[in-house]
Structure 1
């Protein structure tokens, strides 16, 4: 089974406003509410591809109820830990002449709540897949990713980590199956701006020396690069299309990669499926559908 962890899920309130004017009353042209969070996005795209997963994390209040309800509408199974106080966050995504976001804080996660997550993690079995994705609330210890991976290090579990900076660097010693920085995040890890594919590949291989097995580097409109654990590299441009949505494309790439790998056991096929899934979400108003992913795979 695949398990995704989203520490701070959200309801994403997405509104479109023609020519937003600061300090004035603005009327929306369209609006929608979706369950949000990187791990949740991975679970939704996996489900769209016909692959079951269990979404884990913390929810609270009426917004938490709505997150769980909307995730169920997508057909996704969940095993959230309910926090008694506070409420899950609402993130406002404003699409106008420019895109702006206001992200909520989320509930305070206590020690007893965290222990419940550890108890669930301890139930994972050999052969399971664990996806840790996104930032963590400031109420959690900074080494929470490390604590989780340390608990399962003796089990044969495929671990995927999609995080930035120290959250990512500090777990490489646990040899995660896949990490997925984008090219800017990869450069930040080395304190420089990466200008070429060669530099990206060089930095990715440096992360392999620190413990990462496979590194998938997303590059937005420039496509992606995969450095396999064998050292073999793959590069592909992005398929052609009109970008309509930047939210969830990287998470969709993770889901597509996993789907391709689990179906075929082949990194090249996983890479193709990952790029197609990421691009399909970027070209859609919502997360990628199976039909859109399969159509884009014909271009790759």
Structure 2
């Protein structure tokens, strides 16, 4: 089983434009879509579609409209921890060239009591799990070290604690890497460079070199997504680059990184090796990027073309 924690769930509203976005102008959208989202929920939805046993933990007010959207968009095993305040709304605008513009709100303030209740819920949900994925930004009131607190609680209170993946950015990622010792992080090249205090590089070898400064000293491994340049997996033993399959036409990048993490976890719990898990990550991320709006990859969407794997 895989458990996901979504600290900042969101209603994702996507508007599709028939032409590129023109700032300051009035444009008619060709389509719109609304989904219950947030990074951990996205990961859980992709895993559930792939047939994995997954449980999604998240803060959620009982009367939040998000609950209705979540029930409509995904058949998930959900552990909802009651809070005051409704989930934020995120707006994504996509155009035919695959360019996505996103406007994200911060989310409701999290009380100390709610934070502690969420930690307790994650500990309980993690009993018997193989992976725990801590995903997304932290809401106001959580504190940059919240994921460190979750990791410490799970590792000290669960008899056979799961491996722990972290997909966040900025100060939350820095705090988690500094003190949490996660088994996997999943930044993109920009987030990795910010973490390392380095210039942004997209060349796979350069990305691997940056990641080696923290793998395995601070994290067990790093899965770095590079958009159209594929992804790099850095472990204690190797660094591997995977290209995206050929003939991928990008329609929306919403959820592509989340799908990559889901693809990696899906392969890992199936007992596949690092190379196969990296290939699965790239196929799932590419599949979601090829879909419109906020649609997420299902097994039927996975591209069949070759994914080239190169040891760096």
Aligned to 1:92: 91
Tell me: CA distance 1:25–1:110, structure 2 relative to 1, closer, same or farther (3 Å). same
TM-score when scaled to structure 1? Answer: 0.90
Question: Counterpart of 2:182 in 1: which secondary structure?
Answer: coil
Asked whether the equivalents of residues 87 and 108 of structure 2 are also in contact (C-alpha less than 8 Å), the reply is yes
TM-score when scaled to structure 2? Answer: 0.87
User: After superposition, where does 1:83-232 map in structure 2 within 5 Å?
Assistant: 83=83, 85-96=84-95, 99-123=100-124, 124-125=126-127, 127-154=129-156, 155-172=160-177, 173-191=179-197, 192-194=199-201, 196-229=203-236, 231-232=237-238
Question: Counterpart of 1:226 in 2: which secondary structure?
Answer: strand
Q: Using the alignment, how far apart are the partners of 1:186 and 1:235 within structure 2?
A: 16
Q: Using the alignment, how far apart are the partners of 2:307 and 2:239 within structure 1?
A: 19
Tell me: CA distance 1:197–1:104, structure 2 relative to 1, closer, same or farther (3 Å). closer
Asked whether the equivalents of residues 68 and 78 of structure 1 are also in contact (C-alpha less than 8 Å), the reply is no
The count of aligned residue pairs is 295
Higher helix share: 1
Asked whether the equivalents of residues 10 and 90 of structure 1 are also in contact (C-alpha less than 8 Å), the reply is yes
Runs (5+) with no aligned partner, structure 2 = none
Aligned to 2:10: 10
Deviates more, 1:276-285 or 1:102-111: 102-111
Deviates more, 1:18-27 or 1:254-263: 18-27
Tell me: CA distance 1:29–1:171, structure 2 relative to 1, closer, same or farther (3 Å). same
Q: 1:21: Cα distance to partner? A: 6.0
Question: Counterpart of 1:213 in 2: which secondary structure?
Answer: coil
RMSD: 2.2
Q: Using the alignment, how far apart are the partners of 1:272 and 1:100 within structure 2?
A: 27
Q: 1:11: Cα distance to partner? A: 1.1
Q: 1:36: Cα distance to partner? A: 1.3
- 1:291 aligns with one of 289, 300, 309: 300
Q: 1:25: Cα distance to partner? A: 5.5
Asked whether the equivalents of residues 81 and 121 of structure 2 are also in contact (C-alpha less than 8 Å), the reply is no
Asked whether the equivalents of residues 272 and 297 of structure 1 are also in contact (C-alpha less than 8 Å), the reply is no
